[in-house]
Amino acid sequence: MDFTLILNEIGTLILNQIGILWYLAPFFVIITALKSAWFKGVFGEFIVNLSAKLFLNKEKYHLIKNVTLPTEDGSTQIDHVIVSKYGVFVVETKNMKGWIFGSPNQKTWTQKIYKYSSKFQNPLYQNYKHIKTLESLLGLNEEQIFSVIVFVGDSTFKTEMPENVTYGRGYIRFIKSKVQPILTESEVKDIIGKIEKGRLTPSFKTSREHVKHVKKIVEKKGNSQSCPKCGEAMVLREVKKGQNIGNKFWGCSSFPKCRGVVSVT
């Protein structure tokens, strides 16, 4: 038996398989990218941008995208700011799927996909910092700035949401529902100029620095206790009576509304 011939055949087969893998590699990279959180964020912002361009009059509504503003502790990044004589609309985009549970006053909302649940920050709270930063920069009051949350993707609200928390093009309807002029044309131009002047230069470096800042915040929060029932902050308490008197435990700060408890380990 000619083993040399067999080895050559095996070698050729392996090389052919490697060639196929190299050919398919770009497809695997693309599929991985499409499933990433980064792409979901980019796609969500693209949908919002496209809707604004198609359904909002450019003469009346001025869209400013990806606005990163400096803050005392780092920076804050706003997906979209839409400036008009009807007010300044601060739009936060969420590309999510599954069932969404939440209320305006909860610090965390819940996403449920089949049997799996996870919590995420109330986007209204997230947008609150954006609004306060803009109020300070622009010298506006809370009646002149509107918070808008838009969910894109295959998600369904399972609890009643306020009118400024919408799906897809619903945010366009919310913006158009404001028909009373509250800013003059000169004020609109002044606001656009202040945002362009006050924002950090859009660049990869700016985005990278902001991501680092966000990671630090997440790590800091990760070192604190959150209630497993409602997501509120936990308070270190002490048993006052009974056989466990003197023992420490984490109790929900919203007690007695929530009676979540976590043992001290």
Whole-number pLDDT of residue 20 = 58
All residues at 6 or more sequence positions from 12 whose CB lies less than 8 Å from its CB, including other chains:
none
Q: What is the pLDDT of residues 206-242, one digit of tens each?
A: 656 645 544 554 455 545 566 666 666 677 777 777 7
Q: CA–CA separation, 251 vs 238, rounded Å?
A: 9
Q: Which structure tokens are listed for 125?
A: 């709270």
Average pLDDT, the chain: 79
Listed range (6-10, 142-146, 188-192) with the worst mean pLDDT: 6-10
Q: Are 202 and 99 in contact (CB under 8 A)?
A: no
Ramachandran region of residue 66, left (φ > 0), alpha (ψ -120 to 50) or beta?
left
Q: What angle do CA 49, 50, 56 make, to 5 degrees?
A: 85
Q: What is the pLDDT of residues 170-184, one digit of tens each?
A: 999 999 999 999 999
Average of per-residue pLDDT across 143-159: 94
Whole-number pLDDT of residue 90 = 96
Q: Which structure tokens are listed for 122?
A: 């109330």
Q: Which structure tokens are listed for 252?
A: 């929900």
Q: Are 228 and 247 in contact (CB under 8 A)?
A: no
Q: How confident is the model at residue 32 (pLDDT cuts 50, 70, 90)?
A: very low
Whole-number pLDDT of residue 71 = 81
